[in-house]
């Protein structure tokens, strides 16, 4: 998941956000595994403690609209 995210979004996002913000979003987006692949996972992806607020935000927004471009724009604007 990380590799695909980097491949498709790194150049686009690096124009508007810092490297740290990019890394935070990349890590927090793994929360989608819990939503979309819960039937395949043996245990939930817990993520890193520093990303929990962003992960919760992504989880809420993802259930409203499963469009990654929209979610990314919201993540860029998100302030914990």
Model pLDDT for residues 9-49, shown as the tens digit of each residue: 999 999 999 999 999 999 999 999 998 988 898 888 899 99
Q: What is the DSSP letter of 16?
A: T
Model pLDDT for residues 43-70, shown as the tens digit of each residue: 888 999 999 999 999 999 999 999 999 9
DSSP string across the chain? -HHHHHHHHHHHHHTTS-HHHHHHHHHHTTHHHHHHSTTT-SS-----GGGHHHHHHHHHHHHH---HHHHHHHHHH---
């Amino acid at each position: 998941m990380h590799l695909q995210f980097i491949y498709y979004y790194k150049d686009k996002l690096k124009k508007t956000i810092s490297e740290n913000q990019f890394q935070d979003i990349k890590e927090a987006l793994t929360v989608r595994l819990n939503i979309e692949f819960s039937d395949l996972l043996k245990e939930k992806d817990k993520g890193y403690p520093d990303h929990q607020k962003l992960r919760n935000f992504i989880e809420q927004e993802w259930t409203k609209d499963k469009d990654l471009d929209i979610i990314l724009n919201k993540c860029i604007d998100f302030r914990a």
